[in-house]
């Protein structure tokens, strides 16, 4: 399949026939009536003068003129991850994702010429930040058409040839064996039923000696346990396990990942996650998820979320 030609150099690490079938099935999603609103065409022609990927705002500088670009970008709201400076548009997303990037930036392994996977990549903000380090390949998984539409708009102007988005999910990591030098798995683990299986799949997808960055929401506590909410957590229905930091680290160790290191244990505040003009009401954000009389608790009465970020490695011997 022509669209996957960029993966041909890595074919020996990929269940190729299964991946081709998956790609065909996921591309068929664009034929659904419900996907019509995310189909963009005829991107406004703008002269790109500079693409800046190593600053807080992914910044595409160039020609400014009256055209449909702002209308097109706003048709893709809400923008959850960012920020982006797209010519004259300041796309200030709900999340200041640069805060998270700053927390891990000083702990990055050398990404130059590396093969990288970003699981749950959203609109690609982090992939563009990775691209500043000149990796060989950055592959992003996110099975959401809305996210691909946002990525495609930015990529139409950024033209990062080593950055690719696929409508795949975390469950498709087993199609890739011993392939990636680095995997970023951030804000994903608590949305799925089997956290340790995800980490086992990560280990198998990494090259021997490869590195993974794992990030999650969590709860305070010294002991190794996880909250399993009966219904919702911070208004989210798709939350299964919310671990303490030691529990999160133990999941990685149970999956036989080595050198598990804490990079960050931080509170989540409304500087980092909040409503903006690009994610406006009636959408909800962190403020709506917390008890208005006690911000140390969620609206349901659970401990308010913290953000844990850890780094680990696959055994160099496999």
State the sign of the Cα–Cα–Cα–Cα dihedral 283, 121, 167, 173.
Answer: negative
The enclosing H or E element of 270 equals none
d(CA 48, CA 297): 46
Q: How far apart are CA 56 and CA 211, in angstroms?
A: 24
Which residues touch 171 (CB under 8 Å, ≥6 apart)? none
Q: How far apart are CA 223 and CA 276, in angstroms?
A: 37
Query: If you average pLDDT over residues 46-56, what whole number do you get?
Result: 97
Q: What is the pLDDT of residue 318?
A: 83
63 within a domain of the structure (yes/no) = no
Q: For tokens 């033209």, name the residue.
A: 159
Residue 240 lies in a domain: yes
Question: What digits encode the pLDDT tens for the residues 115-172?
Answer: 999 999 999 999 999 999 999 999 999 999 999 999 999 999 999 999 999 999 999 9
| For range 61-72, the mean pLDDT | 94
281-316 pLDDT tens trace: 999 999 999 999 999 999 999 999 999 999 999 999
CA dihedral 87, 93, 95, 96 (to 10 degrees): 30
Q: 78: cis peptide before it, omega within 30°?
A: yes
CA 174/CA 201 separation, integer angstroms: 6
Q: With 80 as the cut, is the pLDDT of residue 2 above it?
A: no
Residue 192 falls within a domain, yes or no?
Answer: yes
Q: What is the pLDDT of residues 186-212, one digit of tens each?
A: 999 999 999 999 999 999 999 999 999
Could you give the number of structural domains in the chain?
Answer: 1
Enclosing domain of residue 171: 11-37+96-313
The reply to whether 172 falls in a domain is: yes
- How far, in Å, CA of 159 to CA of 43, rounded? 13
Counting other chains too, the contacts that 131-135 makes at CB distance below 8 Å and 24 or more residues apart are: 131/53, 131/160, 131/162, 131/163, 132/53, 132/54, 133/108, 135/111, 135/162
| Phi–psi pair at 126, nearest 5 degrees | -65, -35
Q: Is residue 159 part of a domain?
A: yes
Please state, in angstroms and rounded to a whole number, the distance separating the CA atoms of residues 122 and 271: 20
Average per-residue pLDDT for the chain: 96
Residue 308 within any structural domain of the chain: yes
Domain assignment present for residue 78? The answer is: no
CATH number at residue 182: 3.40.50.150
Please report whether residue 89 resides in a domain. Answer: no
Whether pLDDT at 1 is above 60: no
């Amino acid at each position: 399949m022509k669209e996957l030609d960029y993966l041909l150099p890595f074919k020996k690490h990929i269940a190729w026939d299964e991946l081709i079938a998956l790609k065909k099935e996921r591309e068929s999603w664009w034929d659904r009536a419900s996907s019509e609103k995310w189909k963009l065409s005829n991107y406004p022609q703008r002269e790109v003068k500079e693409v800046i990927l190593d600053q807080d705002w992914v910044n595409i500088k160039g020609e400014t003129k009256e055209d449909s670009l702002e209308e097109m970008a706003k048709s893709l709201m809400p923008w959850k991850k960012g920020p982006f400076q797209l010519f004259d548009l300041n796309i200030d997303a709900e999340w200041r994702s640069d805060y998270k990037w700053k927390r891990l930036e000083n702990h990055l392994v050398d990404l130059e010429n590396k093969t990288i996977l970003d699981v749950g990549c959203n609109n690609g903000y982090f992939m563009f930040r990775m691209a500043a380090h000149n990796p060989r390949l950055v592959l992003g998984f996110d099975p959401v058409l809305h996210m691909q539409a946002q990525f495609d708009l930015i990529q139409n102007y950024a033209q990062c040839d080593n950055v690719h988005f696929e409508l795949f999910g975390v469950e498709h990591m087993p199609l890739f064996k011993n392939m990636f030098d680095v995997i970023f798995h951030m804000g994903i683990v608590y949305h799925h039923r089997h956290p340790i299986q995800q980490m086992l799949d990560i280990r198998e997808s990494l090259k021997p000696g490869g590195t993974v960055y794992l990030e999650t929401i969590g709860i305070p506590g010294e002991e190794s346990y996880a909250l399993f909410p009966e219904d919702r957590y911070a208004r989210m229905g798709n939350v299964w396990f919310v671990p303490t930091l030691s529990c999160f680290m133990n999941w990685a160790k149970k999956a036989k990942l080595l050198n598990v290191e804490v990079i960050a244990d931080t509170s989540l505040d409304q500087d980092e996650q909040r409503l903006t003009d690009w994610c406006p009401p009636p959408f909800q954000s962190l403020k709506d998820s917390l008890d208005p009389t006690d911000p140390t608790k969620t609206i349901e009465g659970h401990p308010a979320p913290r953000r844990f970020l850890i780094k680990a490695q696959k055994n160099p011997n496999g």
